[in-house]
Structures are given as C-alpha cells and as structure tokens.
Amino acid sequence: MTNLEKYRQAFITALNADENILDDLNYQDIKEWDSVGHMSLVAELEDAFDIEMETDDIIDFSSYKKGMEILRKYHVEL
C-alpha cells in the first residue's frame, strides 16, 4: 500500500468517509468528523505511519488537504 493509500484508508476507517469526497473534506463537514472522530483519525494516522503528532498539529489538522501538509513535517511523503 502506498503512503497516499494509507492516508486515504485512515479517513475511511476512522470516519467512515466516502472515498469520493475525501479530497475536499474539512473538519465537521460530515457528522462523523467531530472531536471524537478526529481523535480516532489521529490514532489511525499515527499507527499507519508510526509517528506521534504534536498537540498543535492535531488541532491544526482541519482538512484532508491540510493533513497532507502536516504529515510532511513528520517526513511522510504522500
């Protein structure tokens, strides 16, 4: 599985999100991406990429696209 596939799979697993809407998905666009879903998503991503995200990055992770930017800080190229 490529990094991009892993990234997308985390959204599908944690938020039950439809793959077709991922590219434009923002925090709270769907009811599953609330604060509870957010923590599940962060946990999925940390497991998938073996990283530990900083508090500010977890809070700034406001969209699918923003998340890609943040993961680069952890040397995860998507």
CB of 31 vs another protein, minimal distance in Å: 8
Q: Which structure tokens are listed for 64?
A: 């699918």
Handedness of CA 32, 33, 36, 38 (dihedral sign): positive
Q: Which is nearer to another protein, 21 or 39 (CB)?
A: 39
CB of 68 vs another protein, minimal distance in Å: 20
Q: Which is nearer to another protein, 7 or 61 (CB)?
A: 61
Scored b (16 or more CB within 10 A) or e, 37-53 reads bbebbbebbeebbeeeb
Interface residues with another protein (CB under 8 A) are 16, 27-28, 32, 34-40, 43, 52, 55-56, 58-59
